[in-house]
Structure 1
Amino acid sequence: MTEDRTVVHVDEFLPYPPARVWRALVDPDMLSAWFMPTDFAPRVGHRFTFRTQPIPATRFSGTVQCEVLDVRPEVLLCYTWADAGNPDGLASTVTWTLHPEGRGTRLFLEHRGFDPDDPIQQLSRTIMSGGWRSHVVRRLAEFLVEQDQDQDQESPASLR
């Protein structure tokens, strides 16, 4: 089977109910804590940015401009993803889909829109593919664990 060079797919099981995972994806303070600083709001049409370190090799400015395209609470979140510093570069979409699975959530991430004939976009896809899998989803899982630990510490001993 030929690899689709226009998309990155990630499939991850998280041992938390969809409501917990959803909140980490849409609460701007939480999202800023585990992903990137942002002014996100879960409202179709809302324009927001993510800010991180530039990557000169891919001509990435470090600022991602986004617009919310679809919100279905605890099920699906979709937004555009474009480099603010390179308006002629990658224009793509990121879609998070949540499915209840046992006592947790199967989280699917799809980042779509890479030009298979553009070497810079393919380098970006390679970097993002590894980043989504090894950094972003891992950081989300760690953040959810930290939230559990914080709640445990705030609970009175008699309730533990």
Structure 2
Amino acid sequence: MSEPGAIAVDQFLAHPPAKVWRALTDSDLLARWLMPNDFRPVPGHRFTFHTTPRPAQGFDGIVHCEVLELDAPHRLRWAWRGGRLDTVVTWSLVPEGRGTRLFLEHAGFDPDDPVQRRTFTLLDGGWRSHVWPRLSQALAGLA
């Protein structure tokens, strides 16, 4: 973790930045490895992700998002709001050899809020153990 209240993960992907960018910005591809969505790569576009509700954490299963920054194929930022969260997810792509170093930062968690601490722990583990392997699998299936 880079700072309190932020999840930071980086992963080398053996695919060129343009291919990784496509997996991050194509709604159908994004749904394959993250969640069903109505994403469009347009700054200011509001979209949602849909997942399993977690009533004990005040989460109805809908993540409300907005594209905050789009700098193809280098950086993508979106607001991530759901339940008691009001956070920001930033994806940064850096060419590395024949592949891409993909950095993820999910920031804005309140470390003093017990529900947000639990959500932080869940998402930190999920980004690392669930999302990265699914993204790698989706990339492997792309031409």
The TM-score range, normalised by the shorter chain, is: over 0.9
Aligned twin of 2:89 = 94
Equivalent position amino acid for 1:41 in 2? R
The count of residues paired between Structure 1 and Structure 2 equals: 143
Cα distance, 1:55 vs. partner? 2.0
Kept in 2: contact 1:5–1:122 (CA 8 A): no
Stretch of structure 1 that moved more, 44-53 or 138-147: 138-147
State the SS of the aligned residue for 1:96: strand
State the alpha-carbon separation in 1 of the partners of residues 119 and 21 from structure 2.
27
Match of 1:133 among 112, 115, 128: 128
TM-score (normalizing by structure 2): 0.95
Pair member with larger Rg: 1
State the alpha-carbon separation in 1 of the partners of residues 90 and 133 from structure 2.
17
State the SS of the aligned residue for 1:93: strand
State the alpha-carbon separation in 2 of the partners of residues 35 and 55 from structure 1.
17
Unaligned stretches of 5+ in structure 1? Answer: 152-160
State the alpha-carbon separation in 1 of the partners of residues 112 and 79 from structure 2.
21
State the SS of the aligned residue for 2:52: coil
Unaligned stretches of 5+ in structure 2? Answer: none
Aligned twin of 2:60 = 61
Cα distance, 1:58 vs. partner? 2.4
Structure with more strand by fraction:
2
TM-score (normalizing by structure 1): 0.85
State the alpha-carbon separation in 2 of the partners of residues 40 and 31 from structure 1.
8
Kept in 2: contact 1:11–1:106 (CA 8 A): yes
Kindly report which structure 2 residues correspond to 1:103-122, keeping only aligned pairs within 5 A, or say none: 103-122=98-117
Aligned twin of 2:36 = 37
* Root mean square deviation, CA, Å: 1.4
State the alpha-carbon separation in 1 of the partners of residues 121 and 3 from structure 2.
12
